[in-house]
Amino acid sequence: MIHPTAIIDPQAKLGPGVTVGPYSVIGPQVEIGEGTEIANQVTVLGPTRIGKNNRFYTGSSIGQDPQDKKYRHGEDSRLEMGDGNTVREFCTINRGTELGGGLTRVGHRNWIMATVHIAHDVIVGDDTVIANNTALGGHAIIGDKVVLGGFAAVHQFCRIGAYTITGAQSMIPQDVPPFLTVAGNRAKPYGVNSTGLERNGFTPEQVKTIQKAYKIFYRSKLGQAEALERLEKELGADPNVQTFIAFIRQSTRGVLR
């Protein structure tokens, strides 16, 4: 299962059924879980821990040093990936930095298309789709079930809430609350991701409530504090609205308005 031209450091730990293609390099302090497939000319450096049944396509660079001038060789710097991820051609996923918490983390079942860049200290949830040429700046946080359109750019320290979808070539300079559709350079909100919510099992009643919350926050012409107060008063008992409100209150960069 290991091609004879592959170079695998003796310190690397490969689980049962791992395959490594021609001219790939697996460095020290790398753990790769059962059933993971490494194609040709892939580089995986550590400290990196990869779960089960992932697929890495040609030319990807996984676990390289972070592209951060503050990084110093030898500092606490790790990458962790879950199970069932697909990483297409020529993607780059960097390790974390000590100042940023030391960890870049990618969850489970993510579909990461060709030439995506995931920078240091980024946290990616589960079941996301990150389309071709998308770039995630350092310390960005991407929630579960997010879809990022091709050539999207997420600014450093930005958060993208769960179930959000972004248009192609979106430049995202601030936090995006959950459940939204956003697009543009600079990105603007264009309503609720109703189709995505329905595909993920939200009932029509739940979608309708989220749409009401969106209209209060984005279309009532209220300031942010006043809009949140009205949301809590009128829809605060709904758990999805609670999630929406909590995300906005926790924002340090401000949210797209």
Domains of the chain, with CATH numbers? 7-139 (2.160.10.10), 197-249 (1.20.1180.10)
Q: What is the pLDDT of residues 113-129, one digit of tens each?
A: 999 999 999 999 999 99
Point out the catalytic residue in the list 138, 143, 149, 161: 138
Q: In 3D, which of 116, 27, 101, 33 has the Cα closest to residue 64?
A: 27
Point out the catalytic residue in the list 82, 108, 121, 137: 121
The reported pLDDT for the residue numbered 28 is 96
The mean of the pLDDT values for the chain is 97
Q: Is the pLDDT of residue 104 over 90?
A: yes
Specify whether 117 is catalytic: no
Q: What is the pLDDT of residues 25-82, one digit of tens each?
A: 999 999 999 999 999 999 999 999 999 999 999 999 999 999 999 999 889 899 999 9
Specify whether 65 is catalytic: no
Contacts of 124 (CB under 8 A, 6+ apart): 105, 106, 107, 110, 118, 130, 136, 142
pTM, two decimal places: 0.96
Point out the catalytic residue in the list 117, 120, 139, 155: 120
Q: What is the pLDDT of residues 9-22, one digit of tens each?
A: 999 999 999 999 99
The reported pLDDT for the residue numbered 74 is 84
Specify whether 120 is catalytic: yes
